[in-house]
Structures are given as C-alpha cells and as structure tokens.
Amino acid sequence: MRAHRPTVRAANGAVASGHHLATTAGVAALREGGTAVDAAIAAAAVCAVVKPSATSIGGDVFALVYDARRREIVAYNGSGAAPASLDVEALRASGYPRSGAIMATVPGCVAAWSDMMEAHGKLGLDRALAPAIAYAAEGAPVSALLAGAIAEQADALSAAPETQRTYLPRGSVPRPGEMLQQPDLAASLREIAEDGADAFYRGALAGRIADGVARIGGSLRAEDLDAHRTDLPEALSVEHHGFRVHGQPPVSQGHILLEELAIADGLDLARLGWGSAELIHTMVEIKKLAFADRDAFAGDPRRVDFDARRLFDPAFVAARRKAIGGRAADRADAGELALPAHTTYLAVADRDGNCVSLIESVFSAFGSRAVVPGTGILLNDRLRGFSLEPRSPNAIAPGKRPVHTLNAVVALDGSTPRFVFGTPGAQAQVQTNFQLAVALLDMGMDVQEAIEAPRWFHESGRTLQIEARSSDDVRRALAAKGHEIRVLPDWDPVTGGAQAIAIDENGVFAAGADPRREGTAAGY
C-alpha cells in the first residue's frame, strides 16, 4: 500500500503530535538540548491551547516514559478523582447532564507534567510552557478542525457566558485562520511556569479555580485539588511477536490492548494477510472478548480488587482464544477470571534513546463546556466515564477515579525501544492501537503505511464499521461471516488520529501522523 503522506525520517529526534504548532514546539525543545520529556510537555501544552475541543490543563494525561539511562519504562497516571462533596444520588436520580462544571473530576494534567519534568527533564517547566503561553497570549490561528468543532458545539458553548467569551469571542464561530487569544489561560500558565504545579493545586491559582468552580455549580473544592497526587503504577506488558509491548495500567484501559495482543500472540496473524476478511474477523472477535472482560472486572484499583495482570495469565488467555468463533458474535461473555472521545496523542523520541508516549483529554468535545471564570481553564467531564449502576466495579463514588479510555503504547525489542504509538478516539483507541500493533509488529509495515491503512471499528452487536477504502471482496466475505457491515467514509476520524515513531537498529527515527485528523510529524 502506498502512503499519501511521506514517512518523516530523522537522526537526532522526532515528534509526532495532533497539531503542527505542537510538533514544532516539541522539535524546538529537542534542538535546545531538551529530552523527550521536555519536548513532549512543550507539545502537550501547546495542544492544550490550540486544541481545546480535545485537551486542556483542566483535563487528564497518561504517559509512558522510556528512560534510556535506567533502561526502564515509567508509567504516569495523571487522572483525578471525583470530588469528595459530589452528590452521587442526585446524579443517579437525574442522570448525567449534557454539560456543566458538575461533571468535572480533579484535573491531573499539570501535576503529571510537573512530575515528569522533575524526573526526566532538563529545560524546566517554565521553558516547556513558553510556546503555549505565547500562543494563548498572542493568539493562534484557528484550524479548520477547531472551527468545525466550535460550530458543532456552538449552542452548548454559548450556554455558559465564560465559555462563550473564550471560544466565540466576537459572538460568532471563528473562521479558519482567525486568531484566537486566551489571555486568562496565558496568565494561568504563567503562574504554573513560575511556581510549578503547586500554583494549580495549592497556590493562589488553586483558590481562584475552587472559587470559580463553586460559582458555576461544580463540586470541585480546594481540598480536592490539594489532595491530588500523580499515580505512578507499574506499567503492564505482554510479549507479542518477539516484542515486549508496554501499556497503561488501570484506571487506563490499556489492559484491553494488551489482552488483545496476548490472545492474538497464539495465532499466526501474518499468515492471514493484512486487510483480509479472515484477519479482520479474528481481530474483531478478539476485541469483543477483551471489552467484555473490561466491563466485568475493571475499576479504580484503589477501590476494587482488580489486578489487570490476571487477564494475561496463560491459562486465561488460552481459554479466551478458544472462544473465537468462525462467525460474528452478537455479544461476548466475560471470561472466568478469579479476582479476590475527545483526546489528543503524541509520540516523542530523542537522540539519547529516551521516548515518550503521551495522551491527554477533556473526555467529551470541549469537556464539560465550562471554563472557570477568570482562569481560562476548560474543565473536563470525566465523571461521564463512571457507571451509574451501583453494582458496577466502575460505579461512581466520591474520591474514586473513573475508568479511562486513555492509553499509550511503547514496544521494546529486548530493552531497546522500537515503536512508540497511540491514538485518540474514545472506545476506538484500543481497537486502532490493536490494528497499529499488528501492522507494525506482525506485518512489518512502515509507520505511515500502518497509520493510513483502512481501519475498522466495532461498537456493539454484529455491526462492523469499516472504511470504504477496504475492498468489496473483503466486505462481502465479512458479511458472509455474520458481520453487519456499515461503510464509513474513506478517512473517518471515528477510527482515531494516530501518531507513531519507529526506531531502527541504527537509531534512525521514522515518524508518521494520521491524515484523518490534523496531526503532523517532524524531526531534525
């Protein structure tokens, strides 16, 4: 398959992110002698300014950092808990509202950036945040994607005065190329650059956040911010096709991807041929099994007894593999395990061998659609990630973290990183990452080729959504296996917006970015 975009190759470092301004900021940090973490935070912070429909410092971040000096993977869970004063019964009675500050969990993004910088950075948080501060203060041109997102959400954004003032500053949807300034956000970022994460969680800015949230009807209080800490759980990993693939542990759903790969590892996927009906069918049925196990078992490990490593036990994996049928299943049951939306992703690799796989989000488009007055900070609506069913392991509760779709991937060859990849896309994330992993690890495809290959997406039942660039023969063969085919446009963003970096044996980087959204890759 011929890729539409060229693969970006570089010898000194590479960045692939969800926006060209973010990628440029990341490469600039590398050129200044910064590490992969310096570049990742610089890029992520720019995304939080220029991609507000997807991310914000009022949201969350998950990251895997490969530390070349220690030759180890460090996992960062920058997600926050539900506020301690949250009225759960009121939400169960009324259901989740469409928008509003009441839907926000504690933002974990800033704390995670700070902790990553302290452990792995060289340039400092003030330097890393400088490009984002400049774009917020001076303005950045609105992309076509952002203009479309604002237009789509205009009614909801207009319902909150502060949000309307921020994203529809002249009372109308900004056109592509129009400059969008966010002076309040610039001021907040300056405080963080000067005083670190304490400004956000315990300083004067924290007080203004808590007071502002209270004024607009949210439950987040100063005590919730003060109590927040970044979680550093041990990364999960499985062997697949000779690589050790690392993923995010709970509350991320990274275990879904790893279970998918563990099940697939006992099958000769390369023999089936890339894009074949048999390969797609097999992967879709594996996906159904792993999602069923998520629904049955996954929750905040601080509140439920869930050890995701049990999902990779050889006997359990073998049993799940046997459950793959020759025809599409309407639904999959969970295995017998004995147990006591809107997002942006980026990948960075530097010349010293360090790598970062990072994903951040506000969950829904523009999150809660609530901007904290006077701060420019858009809040997430991550409460929506909880189940309102009391018996669910992911049941909503004060002080508990919801299960996240966010996950990031690093694949090692021995102790050497070879692939760094991920994608936004809500429930499509682990499905697209599964397709990327098989394309890269099993099929040996080039990163840009793997990213551009036609994708499929399964949500429920026997309906299988598949991009129109797949062949008629493949779609007919899938239908013959019982799949109810729904044809997507050629390049449908519902299947994600992936970025990836491959590192060859000579240390040369090959980076790719997805034409389905607005990501770009660059290096030097």
Go through the domains of the chain in sequence order and give each one's CATH number.
20-54+71-229+367-385 (no CATH), 236-342+407-523 (1.10.246.130)
Examine the pLDDT at 312 and tell me if it is beyond 90.
Answer: no
Top mean-pLDDT range of 15-24, 91-100, 241-250, 397-406:
15-24
Percent of the chain scoring above 70 in pLDDT: 98
Spatial strand order of the sheet with 236-240 comes to 8-10, 509-513, 499-503, 416-422, 409-413, 243-247, 236-240
**Which own/partner pairs from 313-321 qualify as long-range (CB within 8 Å, at least 24 positions apart)?**
317/259, 317/262, 317/263, 317/266, 318/266, 320/259, 320/263, 320/289, 320/290, 320/293, 321/263, 321/266, 321/267
Closest listed residue to residue 69, CA positions, set 36, 32, 108: 36
pLDDT of res. 1: 64
State the pLDDT confidence band at 342, using cuts at 50, 70 and 90: low
Examine the pLDDT at 301 and tell me if it is beyond 90.
Answer: no
Secondary-structure percent of the chain, ordered helix, strand, coil, rounded to 5: 40, 20, 40
Closest listed residue to residue 418, CA positions, set 246, 265, 269: 246
State the pLDDT confidence band at 341, using cuts at 50, 70 and 90: low
Residue pointed to by tokens 């894009």: 275
Question: pLDDT digits over 266-293, tens only?
Answer: 899 999 999 999 999 999 999 998 888 8
Alpha-carbon distance 354 to 379, whole Å? Answer: 31
Question: pLDDT digits over 141-184, tens only?
Answer: 999 999 999 999 999 999 999 999 999 998 899 999 999 999 99
Angle, helices 36-50 vs 125-138, to 10°: value is 20
Alpha-carbon distance 46 to 20, whole Å? Answer: 10
Examine the pLDDT at 334 and tell me if it is beyond 80.
Answer: no
Distance between alpha carbon 462 and the CA centroid of its chain, in Å?
A: 26
Region 333-350 average pLDDT: 72
Region 360-374 average pLDDT: 95
pLDDT: is 433 or 337 the higher one? 433
Alpha-carbon distance 149 to 155, whole Å? Answer: 11
In DSSP notation, 107-160 reads: P-HHHHHHHHHHHH-SS-HHHHHHHHHHHHHH-EEPPHHHHHHHHHTHHHHHTS
Phi/psi-derived region of residue 107, left when phi > 0, alpha when psi is between -120 and 50, beta in every other case: beta
23 is catalytic: no
Examine the pLDDT at 339 and tell me if it is beyond 90.
Answer: no
Examine the pLDDT at 313 and tell me if it is beyond 60.
Answer: yes
Q: Taking all residues of the chain, what is their mean pLDDT, rounded to a whole number? A: 92
Question: pLDDT digits over 119-137, tens only?
Answer: 999 999 999 999 999 999 9
Least confident range from 289-303, 397-411, 500-514: namely: 289-303
Examine the pLDDT at 89 and tell me if it is beyond 50.
Answer: yes
Q: How many CB atoms lie within 10 A of CB 489?
A: 11
Q: Looking at 7, 23, 163, 343, which residue is catalytic? A: 343
- Phi, psi dihedrals of residue 317, rounded to the nearest 5°: -65, -40
Closest listed residue to residue 298, CA positions, set 392, 361, 385, 382: 392
Region 457-478 average pLDDT: 94
Alpha-carbon distance 438 to 450, whole Å? Answer: 9
Q: How far is CA 167 from CA 104, 158, 363, 366, 378, in A?
A: 19, 9, 18, 10, 10
SS3 letters for 386-442? CECCCCCCCECCCCCCCCECCCCEEEEECCEEEEEEECCCHHHHHHHHHHHHHHHHH
Alpha-carbon distance 358 to 15, whole Å? Answer: 11
Alpha-carbon distance 199 to 154, whole Å? Answer: 31
pLDDT of res. 336: 58
Closest listed residue to residue 381, CA positions, set 371, 391, 395, 367: 367
Sign of CA dihedral 87, 227, 252, 497: positive
Alpha-carbon distance 101 to 369, whole Å? Answer: 8
Closest listed residue to residue 102, CA positions, set 381, 361, 342: 381
Question: pLDDT digits over 179-220, tens only?
Answer: 999 999 999 999 999 999 999 999 999 999 999 999 999 999
pLDDT of res. 323: 86
Alpha-carbon distance 57 to 415, whole Å? Answer: 33
Question: Is-contact 46 132, C-beta < 8 A?
Answer: yes
Top mean-pLDDT range of 248-252, 450-454, 494-498:
450-454
Residues in the chain: 524
Alpha-carbon distance 290 to 298, whole Å? Answer: 11
SS3 14: strand
pLDDT of res. 484: 96
Q: How far is CA 71 from CA 141, 156, 354, 412, in A?
A: 40, 47, 9, 10
Examine the pLDDT at 338 and tell me if it is beyond 70.
Answer: no
pLDDT of res. 340: 37
